Amino acid sequence: MKSNQDHAEQLWQQYASGIVRTLASYELDSQLREDLAQEIFCAIAQSVERILAAENPRAYVFRIAHNVAVDHVARQVRDKAETHEPGQLAQLQEQSSDAGSDCPAEQVHKNQQQAALARAVQQLAAPYRQVILLLLEDLSANEIADVLQVSAGAVRVRINRAKTELRSVLQDGRQ
């Protein structure tokens, strides 16, 4: 029989890559992002039984990550700490991109597109950035609604507005 710690580690391994990518928009300082990831793991470990009993464990894990990250940002704002430096999200995306392409030129182009998208996402208002990041993690509108604790309709509206704003930013080259 698995212990709660074993379940927490299994959940972390299952969702860590998506959580870490999502954290890049909340915290751009790598050390603070690592601290934030540890806080999220602890919160997951404390909530293992509720996660396992949840109707949608994936959404529950991302809700925990979202809530911990939002609390972190609120603390940073309160402390008037400057946590976001332009370009760091794009650098993180470039570093984590898939290096398995057959053609180096295609990989460079793909990296440039990912970097441009990352910079554009960073420019979105927080509610739009949240839904886009969760959407990029393949969460459905209903799962995103569970994570953010808003209606699915509100999520769909935010997704549409975020996509419109992203198109505008990418077309204008403001990233």
pLDDT in tens, 66-90: 889 888 877 776 665 344 444 444 4
Confidence of residue 95 (pLDDT cuts 50, 70, 90): very low
Summarize the confidence of residues 24-36 as an average pLDDT.
84
Summarize the confidence of residues 98-118 as an average pLDDT.
68
pTM, two decimal places: 0.63
Coarse DSSP helix, strand, coil percentages of the chain, rounded to the nearest 5 percent: 80, 0, 20
DSSP 29: S
Residue 11, pLDDT score: 92
Q: Which numeric CATH code is attached to 1-85?
A: 1.10.1740
Residue 116, pLDDT score: 77
Residue 82, pLDDT score: 41
High-pLDDT (> 70) share of the chain, %: 82
Residue 18: pLDDT over 80:
yes
